[in-house]
Amino acid sequence: MPKLIPTKKFLSDVEQLGKNKVLRSKLGKALASLERDPHYPGLRIERITNDPSAWSARIDSRYRLSFDISTYQANGAPDWSAPILLLRVLDHDDLYRMPH
């Protein structure tokens, strides 16, 4: 299981969610899934094409979170057991424009 490490921007984005309990709950479930099993299909993990170091995971139909994988294997595949740096929580379109 990878360790999840939030950045200041990630924490600020979470704070911006305010009192939206539904979205905060969905974020919590997404983070638990990412930590437990990064291959969980509901996360719909994918690379962010305009930033080769960033990945995204689905929170719901509107929101996604971006993250950076700290370690890659010799063959170039991500090491899903290594720590994951949590970058942002934003609306889908905003996240793909500004993943960091």
23-65 pLDDT, tens digit each: 999 999 999 999 999 999 999 999 998 888 899 999 999 999 9
Domain boundaries, the chain: 4-72+79-97
Domain 4-72+79-97: CATH superfamily, name plus number: RelE-like (3.30.2310.20)
CA-to-CA separations, 66 to 18, 48, 69, 74, in angstroms, rounded = 19, 8, 10, 23
24's CB contacts (< 8 A; 6+ apart) are: 14, 17
Select the more confidently predicted residue: 46 or 19.
46
Provide the residue type at 67 as one letter: F
pLDDT at 34: 95
